A = this chain, B = another copy of it.
């Protein structure tokens, strides 16, 4: 490489990469699910202008998740979907659902409101819970995708098996989420390779930035054969945030991959996100580093901080202890128990 980088001038010799943009879903975690219709519309218009292929929207935890326990969204699912649908003239609309929070009725509502791509999520070892819902999505005529959460908690072989199961159930793309932001690039490479070898549908990767490696992990996933990469404007997402969309587009372009996204327009969309959606861009605080290192879902941050304060234990100790117990989303009730054990142990 000499001098100026080949900005916007690289011939596209490599396979196309489909960017899937959950700014309006994963980013919702960062603002307590309180985006209003004007905010959804402003970003959806900007992403559509940038030719982002899929714009995902919803409560941070997906369809049907708005609740007192998880956090009530400002808008109901139908309103969010109708708002974004109206703004998208070329981008497809995506939704996310984790069985347990969402139901078949929620899927029907989503597709009726124009969802084109429906992701069904399961804990990394529990793909069997996606069977019925993936079938429902296919029956409804939308594109069905399957994703495995907290995927660092098991190895390449099992992830490949679980992804193959989801393909059998009807998934038209499958992959892994680094829900805790725990991966190093080599971890991603071995996992994505194993999955790509086991299935004949596009492989998805979704990163989080707890250790500052969301971008590197996403590029590693591409190199290992993933072709659907999740990325959000300014990295807007749970905890330390996601892979940063506009930087990913710039890098993929420079490396000769075609995303179909306009660089200038996606930089403008990121500015809309920064100005309209977020209080501050995501950053990697010490809690984020600890939760990434411990392999604990970033969504635990608020309860961990509250319980650590109430029990008088160090929140970083608490995150590391929760990592040792391998807690996963849905096990928030364990936080208090672990905190009290920590407290007892240090007396």
Interface of A is mostly: helix
CB of A28, distance to nearest CB on chain B (Å) = 19
On whether the beta carbons of A212 and B214 are closer than 8 Å, the reply is yes
Q: A313-336 CB contact bits vs B (8 Å, 1 = yes)?
A: 000100010011010000000000
Q: A193-214 CB contact bits vs B (8 Å, 1 = yes)?
A: 0000000000000000111111
Number of copies: 2
Residues 221-275 of A at the B interface (beta carbon under 8 Å): 234-235, 243-244, 246-248, 250-251, 254-255, 264, 267-268, 270-271, 274
Return chain B residues, CB-CB under 8 Å to A270: 285-286, 289
When the two chains form the complex, which single residue of B7, B283, B326 contacts A323, counting CB atoms closer than 8 Å? Answer: B7
Residues 115-160 of A at the B interface (beta carbon under 8 Å): 152-155
Closest to A2 in B: B155
A33 beta carbon closer than 8 Å to chain B: no
A281 beta carbon closer than 8 Å to chain B: yes
Binding site for B on A (CB under 8 A): 1-5, 7, 152-155, 182, 184-185, 187, 209-216, 219, 234-235, 243-244, 246-248, 250-251, 254-255, 264, 267-268, 270-271, 274, 280-286, 289-290, 292-295, 316, 320, 323-324, 326
